[in-house]
Amino acid sequence: MGHIIAIFHHGGRIYKGQYVSKLGNIVFSIDKDHFSLTELKSYAKDIGYDEVDAFFTEDPITHNFVKIESDSQLYNFVKDLWSGSFFKLFLKHVTVKKGGSTATPTLGPFSVENNNQELGNCSRISHTEHGINGEGEVEQPLDEENDDSLNFEEDNLDDVPDQDDSEVDEELRAFREKLREDKQNEAAKQKKRTKKLSKDQGVELGEVGIDKGFENIFTNKAAKFNGKLGGDELFIDSSDEPSEDSDEELDVLAQPGVDLPSRRKSNKLRYDSSSSVSFFELGMIFESATQFRKAVADYAVQHKVQLRLKPNEPHRVRVKCEGKCKWEIFASLDKDSGNFFVKKYYPAHRCISKNKNRLCTAKYVEMKMRDRIISQPDMRVHKLQEILKKEWGLKVGRSICFRAKMNVIAKFLGDWKLEFSRLLDYADMIKSTNPGSSCWVRTDNETVNGLHLFKYFYVCFAALKNGWLEGCRKIIGLDGCFLKGACRGELLVAVGKNGNNQMYPIAWAVVDQETKHSWSWFLNYLIEDLQLGDGSGITVMSDMQKGLEVAVEVLLPNAERRMCARHIWANWQKRWRGEERRKAFWRCAKASFEVKLRDEFEYLGKLGDRICEALLGYNKEYWCRALFSERSKCDVVENNMCETFNSWIVGPRHKSVISMLEDIRHKMMDRHGDMIKFVDTWIGDISPMARLILEENKEIGRTLRVNWNHDIGFEIQEGEYRHIIDMTRKTCSCRLWQLRGIPCQHAVCALYHIGQEPEDYVEHWYKKDTFLRAYKYFLQPISNMIMWPDTNNPPVEPPEVKPMPGRPGRCRRKDKDEPRKKKWGKASKNGVKMSCSKCHQVGHNKRTCKSVPSQQPTQQPARPFQQPPVRQPSQPPLRQPSTRNASSLCVDTSKVKGRKKKEPIASATSSSVGMPPPSSVGMPPAPQLEEKEQEMWDLVFTQTYKLEEK
SS3 319: strand
Query: What percentage of the chain carries pLDDT values higher than 90?
Result: 36
> Rounded to whole angstroms, how far apart are CA atoms 460 and 593?
37
Residue 17: band (very low, low, confident or very high) from pLDDT cuts 50, 70, 90: low
| pLDDT tens-digit readout, 482-506 | 888 666 789 999 999 999 999 999 9
The torsion angles phi and psi of 841, rounded to 5 degrees, stand at -100, 160
> Rounded to whole angstroms, how far apart are CA atoms 263 and 244?
6
The torsion angles phi and psi of 626, rounded to 5 degrees, stand at -65, -20
More confident residue, 55 or 801: 55
Ranked by mean pLDDT, which of 11-15, 253-257, 266-270, 323-327 comes out on top?
A: 323-327
Residue 767: band (very low, low, confident or very high) from pLDDT cuts 50, 70, 90: very high
The contacts found for 22-25 with CB under 8 angstroms, 24 or more apart, are 22/151, 24/120, 24/122, 24/209, 25/119, 25/120, 25/122, 25/210
> Rounded to whole angstroms, how far apart are CA atoms 362 and 383?
16
Query: How many residues appear in the chain?
Result: 950
In this structure, which amino acid lies at residue 441? V
- Which of 396-400, 711-715, 911-915 shows the lowest per-residue confidence on average (mean pLDDT)? 911-915
What pLDDT was estimated at residue 31? 79
- Which of 115-119, 687-691, 819-823 shows the lowest per-residue confidence on average (mean pLDDT)? 115-119
Mean pLDDT confidence for 72-98: 75
Model pTM score? 0.58
More confident residue, 928 or 274: 274
Residue 685 has pLDDT above 90, yes or no: yes
Residue 219: band (very low, low, confident or very high) from pLDDT cuts 50, 70, 90: very low
DSSP H or E run through 189: helix 167-193
627-655 as b/e, with b when 16 or more CB fall inside 10 Å? bbeebbbbbbbbbbbbbebbeebebbbbb
- Which of 125-134, 250-259, 743-752, 849-858 shows the lowest per-residue confidence on average (mean pLDDT)? 125-134
More confident residue, 566 or 96: 566
Residue 715: band (very low, low, confident or very high) from pLDDT cuts 50, 70, 90: very high
Give residue 557's Cα distance to chain centre.
Answer: 47
Give residue 519's Cα distance to chain centre.
Answer: 36
Residue 27 has pLDDT above 60, yes or no: yes
Residue 449 has pLDDT above 50, yes or no: yes
Number of H helices, E strands in the chain: 25, 32
The torsion angles phi and psi of 113, rounded to 5 degrees, stand at -70, -40
Residue 850: band (very low, low, confident or very high) from pLDDT cuts 50, 70, 90: confident
What is the dotted CATH code of the domain comprising 3-155? 3.10.20.90
The torsion angles phi and psi of 704, rounded to 5 degrees, stand at -90, 160
The count of C-alpha atoms lying within 13 angstroms of the C-alpha of 751, restricted to the half-sphere facing its C-beta, is 24
More confident residue, 264 or 221: 264
SS3 18: strand
More confident residue, 668 or 278: 668
Give the residue range(s) of CATH 3.10.20.90 domains in the chain. 3-155
What pLDDT was estimated at residue 846? 82
Residue 57: band (very low, low, confident or very high) from pLDDT cuts 50, 70, 90: confident
Residue 189: band (very low, low, confident or very high) from pLDDT cuts 50, 70, 90: low
β-pair partners for 92: 54
- Secondary structure in 3-state letters for 533-585: CCCCCCEEEECCCCCHHHHHHHHCCCCEEEECHHHHHHHHCCCCCCHHHHHHH
> Rounded to whole angstroms, how far apart are CA atoms 487 and 510?
11
Contact 649, 510 (CB under 8 A): no
What pLDDT was estimated at residue 82? 75
Question: What integer best gives the mean pLDDT of the chain?
Answer: 76
Residue 43 has pLDDT above 90, yes or no: no
Ranked by mean pLDDT, which of 223-237, 371-385, 694-708, 906-920 comes out on top?
A: 694-708
> Rounded to whole angstroms, how far apart are CA atoms 464 and 461?
5
Ranked by mean pLDDT, which of 108-122, 241-255, 682-696 comes out on top?
A: 682-696
What pLDDT was estimated at residue 206? 58
What pLDDT was estimated at residue 149? 34
Mean pLDDT confidence for 154-161: 40
Contact 664, 508 (CB under 8 A): yes
> Rounded to whole angstroms, how far apart are CA atoms 608 and 606?
6
| pLDDT tens-digit readout, 616-649 | 989 999 999 999 999 999 999 999 999 999 999 9
Largest CA distance in the chain: 149
DSSP class of residue 361? -
More confident residue, 626 or 281: 626
Mean pLDDT confidence for 602-620: 91
Query: What percentage of the chain carries pLDDT values higher than 70?
Result: 68
